């Protein structure tokens, strides 16, 4: 059994998110199985988006950021793995990333947020 949650924040150019997953220990065993301890996984990401209208390569959007996985550096054993006692899931990792898009149109507005429900009438193609 697992239980988790997270939160995020977004603005025009920034995106930040964090998530925590708790996996409960496994002690309901079948023949030849061994118990597995519980663990907590903490993940975080922060990224920045920048649009360059006039760059040497044309319109360019660049997203850079950091992603951290298993930030608590716990030993994670997947109970359904046959070799769980010998093989751990990856430990703490922090990665820098960069994504670039070339030749596109720039953002015309901030990211789309929830704007409420729309009616389903003839003006938007859902009715007669």
Helix/strand number for the chain, H first, E second: 0, 5
Q: What is the pLDDT of residue 91?
A: 87
The partner residues of 44 in beta bridges, in order of sequence, read 18, 68
Q: So what's the pLDDT on residue 11?
A: 92
| pLDDT score of 119 | 41
| pLDDT of residue 114 exceeding 70 | no
For tokens 């977004």, what's the residue?
Answer: 10
3-state class (DSSP) for residue 123: helix
DSSP strand E in 53-92: where? 60-69
State pLDDT tens for residues 12-55: 899 999 999 998 988 877 787 777 888 899 999 999 999 887 77
- Tell me the pTM: 0.67
- SS3 of 12, please? coil
């Amino acid at each position: 059994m697992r239980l988790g949650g997270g939160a995020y924040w977004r603005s025009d150019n920034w995106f930040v998110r964090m998530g925590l997953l708790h996996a409960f220990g496994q002690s309901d065993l079948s023949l030849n199985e061994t118990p597995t301890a519980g663990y907590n996984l903490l993940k975080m990401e922060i990224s920045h988006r920048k649009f360059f209208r006039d760059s040497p390569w044309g319109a360019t959007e660049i997203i850079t950021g950091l992603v951290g996985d298993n930030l608590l550096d716990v030993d994670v054993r997947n109970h359904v793995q046959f070799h769980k006692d010998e093989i751990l899931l990856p430990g703490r990792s922090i990665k820098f990333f960069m994504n670039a898009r070339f030749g596109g149109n720039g953002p015309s507005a901030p990211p789309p947020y929830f704007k409420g429900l729309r009616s389903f009438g003839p003006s938007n193609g859902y009715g007669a």
